[in-house]
Structure 1
Amino acid sequence: MAKTIIALMYDFDKTLCEKDMQEYGFIPSIGMEPEDFWDEANKIAHKYNMDKILAYMLLMNKQAKKNDLQITKESLQSLGKDVVFFPGVDTWFERINAYGRSLGLEIEHYIISSGLKEIIEGTSIAHEFKRIYACEFHYNERGNAVWPRQVVNFTTKTQFLFRISKGVLDVLDDVTLNSYMSDEDRRIPYRNMIYLGDGITDVPCMKLVKQYGGQSIALYHGDDMTKVHKLLGENRVNYICNSDYRKGSELEKIVKLILTRMAITNKLAEIEVAQRKGMSTGGDN
C-alpha cells in the first residue's frame, strides 16, 4: 500500500527567515532603508490602486535602473545566499522527514510565498521543497526583468492549496485544477496538510486549511505575541509557536504530535474503508 503523503506548506518571509528576503541584499544594494522601500511601495499601490505585491516588484525594477543595476534571474538567485534562517531551519527538513518515515508517512514540503521565487531558489534550503510557489519576473532577450510573470498575493495563495491537494502542481494547468475531484481521489486530502505562516498575509491559507481539517500554525519571533494571539483567538489557526526550528523546540514537538495523529487517523480511515468494501462484496456480517 502506498504511503500516506503529508504536505507541510510554508510562507517564507518571517516564517523561515527573520525578515523580508529583499532586505538581506537587494534593498541595501539600492541604497535604501527597508522601511523607506516598503513605505514607497505602499504609496505606489495606493496612488495607482495597484496590488501591493505588483507595487513592490515595480519599485524593485525602478530603483535598480535608477542605480544602474540590472535585475536578472541570476542576480536575484545570488541574493539567496544572504538570507539568514531561524535557528534549526537547516536541519528541520531532515528531522521531520525521518520522523514521518518512522510513522509510515511521506513528507513533502512546499513554499507558498509573496516573495520572489528566484531569491528562494538561491538559498541553501531550496532543494528541500517539492515546489516553490512565489512571485517571478519575466525577462527580455537580454535577460533583464521587464514584467511580473507570476504574482502571489494574500488571496491567490489559496489556489496552491487546491493544486497541492489535487496533485495539479503545474501553474498553467487550470483545466485539471477546476475539474471535479472527490475527496477520496485527492493526492493529499486537506486533513493531511499543515500550514506554517507568520501573519496577516497567511490568514486565508491558515483559515482554509484549518476549516477543511488540516492544521495551521502561526509563528512569532521575539516577545510580541499580539498578532498570533489575535489569530488564535479568532479561531483562524490551531496553534501558535516561536519561530524556533531546533531539535526539541515547541514547534518540533507540536508538528511531531500532529504527524502522529495524522498517521493514526489515516490508518483508521483505511481500516474503515476496507471493512465497508468487505461488506459490499459479501464479507462477514
Structure 2
Amino acid sequence: MQEPIFKKYNVDENTFWDEVNSLEDQYKRQGIRVNRDTIYLNHFITCVRQGIFKGLNNAMLREFGKELTFYPGIPEIFEELCNIVTKNEKYSPFNISVEHYVVSTGLSEIIKGSIVNNYVKGIWACEFIERPIMSSLGTGESESGLEFSGNEISQIAYAIDNTSKTRALFEINKGSNLFEEIDVNSKIAPENRRVPFENMIYIADGPSDVPAFSVIKSNGGRTFAVYPKGNNKAFKQVNQLIRDGRIDMFGEADYSKDTTTYLWLRNQVLDIADRIYDKKREQISKSASKAPTHI
C-alpha cells in the first residue's frame, strides 16, 4: 500500500521495512515496549522529520491512493455482491442489502484515495495529524522549539493493529460507527445489534488476522483467507489456518467471476440473505393472529 510513497521519494522500500522490523528489538534494549503492528507509523514520522519524506502530508497520501492497483476482480466484486441481493425481488420486502467495510493496519488516506473508497461504507485504518492542537497550559516560552508547519504529518492520530481490528468489528456489529449515541462498550442484546456477527464475512490474508477471524467465526460468521497466486509460503499459512479451525475456506486472491474465491463469496452472501429472509418470514408468521373462522 505504501509503495507510491517510496517511489515519490526514491526510497528503497525493502530498506525502510528492514529498519521498521529492527525497531522493536532496538527499543526493547532501551527498556521501551512498542507495538510491532504500528511502529511503522512512528518511523514514517521520523523520516519526515529527517527530511527523507519532506513535505509528506495527508493530501499527498490521498493522491497516492490513486496509484494503488488491486487483485483481479477488485472493485467489480463489491458491486456484484451488492447487486445479487438488492436486485433480487425476493429480498426487497425486507430491505436486505450488502455493506462493505475495510479494516486495515494500512493508511486511511491512501485507501480513501483509491477506487475502493467508492464501494465501501466505512474504513478503519491508521491516520496522521499534521498540525497538533497546542496546549493552553504553556507560557509560550517552551513552544519556541516546536516546529509544526501544518504541511507535513507530525503525529499519529489513530492507529489500528491486528487486535484492535476486533473493536472495529464490534462497532459495525452494534452500529456505533453510524450512530454516535451508541457506545461500542454499551451492552446491547445480540438480537438488537445492527449487523449480527452471523451476517458477517471476514476476508483477510493471513495469521495476523487471527483475532478478527476468531471473533467472527466464534459468533457464527464466515471467514475466508486469500493468498497471492503462486506464493507457496502464503499458501501454507492459510492452509494452516483452516487446519487450526480459524477460517472456513481459502482461495487465491483473485475475485474475478467464476474463480473459487468469487463463487464462495457469492454463495455465502446468498446463503446469509436467505437465512435473514426465512427468519423475517417466520417472525411475521408467528406474530400474526389467526383469522376468525365460522363456528
| TM-score higher than 0.5 | yes
Q: Residue 211 in 1 paired to residue 218 in 2?
A: yes
In structure 2, the gaps of 5 or more residues are: 28-32, 132-148
- Per the TM alignment, residue 37 of structure 1 is displaced from its structure 2 partner at its CA by 1.4
- Per the TM alignment, residue 147 of structure 1 is displaced from its structure 2 partner at its CA by 0.8
**Could you tell me which of 257, 260, 276 is aligned with 1:247?**
257
SS of 2:100 mapped into structure 1: strand
Count of aligned residue pairs for this structure pair: 260
> Are residues 253 and 221 of structure 1, via their aligned partners in 2, closer, same or farther at CA, if it must alter by over 3 Å?
same
- Per the TM alignment, residue 28 of structure 1 is displaced from its structure 2 partner at its CA by 3.0
Name whichever of 114-123 and 34-43 sits farther off: 34-43
Residues 88-167 of structure 1 aligned to structure 2 (within 5 Å) = 88-101=73-86, 102=88, 104=91, 105-140=96-131, 142-167=150-175
Partners of 2:38 and 2:105 within 8 A in 1: no
Q: Which has the higher contact order (CA 8 A, sep 6+)?
A: 1
> Are residues 168 and 68 of structure 1, via their aligned partners in 2, closer, same or farther at CA, if it must alter by over 3 Å?
closer
SS of 1:145 mapped into structure 2: coil
Paired residue for 1:60?
44
Q: Which whole-Å CA distance do the structure 2 matches of 1:157 and 1:190 have between them?
A: 14
Amino acid corresponding to residue 221 of structure 1 in structure 2: P
Q: Which whole-Å CA distance do the structure 2 matches of 1:188 and 1:216 have between them?
A: 16
- Per the TM alignment, residue 217 of structure 1 is displaced from its structure 2 partner at its CA by 0.4
Structure 1 vs Structure 2: percent identity of aligned residues? 27
Paired residue for 1:182?
189
Paired residue for 1:168?
176
- Per the TM alignment, residue 125 of structure 1 is displaced from its structure 2 partner at its CA by 2.0
Partners of 1:30 and 1:63 within 8 A in 2: no
Query: If you compute each CA radius of gyration, which structure gives the higher value, 1 or 2?
Result: 2
Deviation sequence 1:201-248 (CA, Å, 0-9, x none)? 211111211110110100011222101101100000011011111122
Paired residue for 2:4?
25
Partners of 1:135 and 1:149 within 8 A in 2: yes
Amino acid corresponding to residue 234 of structure 1 in structure 2: D
Partners of 1:54 and 1:148 within 8 A in 2: no
Q: Which whole-Å CA distance do the structure 1 matches of 2:213 and 2:15 have between them?
A: 29
**Could you tell me which of 9, 33, 37 is aligned with 2:16?**
37
More strand by share: 1
- TM-score scaled to structure 1, two decimals? 0.84
Q: Which whole-Å CA distance do the structure 2 matches of 1:263 and 1:53 have between them?
A: 35
Q: Which whole-Å CA distance do the structure 1 matches of 2:277 and 2:80 have between them?
A: 22
Paired residue for 2:266?
256
Q: Which whole-Å CA distance do the structure 1 matches of 2:211 and 2:181 have between them?
A: 20
Q: Which whole-Å CA distance do the structure 1 matches of 2:111 and 2:104 have between them?
A: 9
Paired residue for 2:134?
none
In structure 1, the gaps of 5 or more residues are: 1-20
Amino acid corresponding to residue 22 of structure 2 in structure 1: K
- Per the TM alignment, residue 275 of structure 1 is displaced from its structure 2 partner at its CA by 4.2
SS of 2:98 mapped into structure 1: strand
